[in-house]
Structure 1
Amino acid sequence: MLRRGLDALYAAGAAVAALSLFGIFLVMMAQVALRFLNRQFPGADDISAYLCVATTFFALALTFKRGELIRVGLLLERLSPGPRRFMEILALALAAIGSAYAVWWTADDVLFSWEIEDLAQGPLPIPLWIPKLAMPLGAGILLIAVLDELATVLRGERPSYVVAAEERTARGDFSAEV
């Protein structure tokens, strides 16, 4: 049940990322259509930038779980199973610390923007805490995914990103191994 919940959380993050990406498409198409009418879309650049940040942060967890984030496995792949497991645990612990740090400081920035009622300086006075909220939420989902993988490795199992990479390689798909 916990596994299904976690997988649903990662999928929900990816769905929000996909919707954000689609939102960028809609904003761009609206800009094109309005140009034909000699009109402008006020705040289109700001909205696109906010959606770009949301796309990036909400996609992190599922991308990590699928083994599609940049990962340097050169050293790990050459180690025997014992040292490899130790290094995998160390790398995941460091990733968890880094992710927790990102959650902490981005959440602090959101709170600060909310407290001072910070508004976007562009044509649309959007309260900045709203688009900034994507950063701690997305980083928080990534932190959960990293802790999930750390627990997996501590139980003696193989990380899902390694399994996913091996499955892609077995299918002859080397697209993520660039």
Structure 2
Amino acid sequence: MDAFARLTYRGLLALACVSMIGALTAITLNIATRLVDGWSITGLDGYAGYSIAAAFFLALPSALMQGDHIRVSVVLQNAGPRVRLWLEYWGLSVGLAIAVYLAWFSCRLVWFSHLYHDVAPTGDATPMWIPQVSMALGTVGFATAFLHALVSRIQGRSFFKEASGEATPSE
């Protein structure tokens, strides 16, 4: 299960990379069309924004696994082993609770946008549930990664990766 979860995080990261390429393409195309007098493609600004937001949310699980999210490492390093263990459990539990709420809210937002036919206020009138799906996928992956980290910590296994490539449970 651990290998499947890590493969899923890498898959979401690959989608984040594709989203960044989409943002670059939309911005470049927008600039190129502005250079041509009287010609413009409506919605390119919106698509660039959707792509950047998708990249952010889809990269959340992989960033957590790599240890790239803000952590209070100074406090953990100076705490005793017993206090450090409880701080890690507390931090992962609170992070999981917040991530689960964010995932629930994101999925609910996608559902309501689809249900009420919410569209973008831009000229292209994109159905909002389409770009919001990437947010829901990313936040569900993020909550899964927090659960994975907490279960790994409880089992005494490592989850977070160090710069050397080896994983440690307390980074």
Identity %: 26
Q: Distance in 2 between matches of 1:110 and 1:156?
A: 36
Q: Which residue of 2 aligns with 1:164?
A: 162
Q: Distance in 2 between matches of 1:85 and 1:51?
A: 38
Q: Which residue of 2 aligns with 1:97?
A: 97
Gaps of 5+ in 1: 169-178
The alignment partner of 1:109 has SS state of helix
Following superposition, which runs of at least 4 residues in structure 1 exceed 4 angstroms of deviation?
Answer: none
Q: Which residue of 2 aligns with 1:88?
A: 88
The alignment partner of 1:133 has SS state of helix
TM-score, normalised via structure 1 length: 0.87
Q: Distance in 2 between matches of 1:159 and 1:112?
A: 35
Q: Which amino acid aligns with 1:13?
A: L
Which segment drifts farther, 33-42 or 56-65?
33-42
Task: Give 1:49 shift.
Answer: 1.1
TM-score, normalised via structure 2 length: 0.90
Q: Which amino acid aligns with 1:164?
A: E
Gaps of 5+ in 2: 166-171
Q: Which amino acid aligns with 2:162?
A: A
Q: Distance in 1 between matches of 2:35 and 2:156?
A: 60
Task: Give 1:86 shift.
Answer: 1.4
Q: Which amino acid aligns with 1:113?
A: S
Q: Residues 121-171 of structure 1: CA distance to partner in whole angstroms, max 9, x if unpaired? A: 1011111011111112101101111111111110123442xx415x38xxx
Q: Distance in 1 between matches of 2:117 and 2:158?
A: 46
Q: Which residue of 2 aligns with 1:21?
A: 20
Q: Which residue of 1 aligns with 2:7?
A: 8
Q: Which amino acid aligns with 1:8?
A: L
Q: Distance in 1 between matches of 2:154 and 2:84?
A: 12
Give the number of equivalent residue pairs: 164
Q: Distance in 2 between matches of 1:76 and 1:110?
A: 37
Mapping for residues 1-178 of structure 1, pairs under 5 Å: 2-38=1-37, 39-160=39-160, 163-165=161-163, 167=164
8 Å contact from structure 1 (residues 85, 153) kept in 2: no
Q: Distance in 2 between matches of 1:158 and 1:5?
A: 16
Q: Which residue of 1 aligns with 2:168?
A: none
Q: Residues 20-62 of structure 1: CA distance to partner in whole angstroms, max 9, x if unpaired? A: 0000100111112222322212101111111111010000010
8 Å contact from structure 2 (residues 27, 45) kept in 1: no
Q: Distance in 1 between matches of 2:70 and 2:137?
A: 21
Q: Distance in 2 between matches of 1:21 and 1:132?
A: 16
* Residues 132, 18 of structure 1: alpha-carbon distance in 2 compared, 3 angstrom cutoff: same
Q: Distance in 2 between matches of 1:52 and 1:28?
A: 11
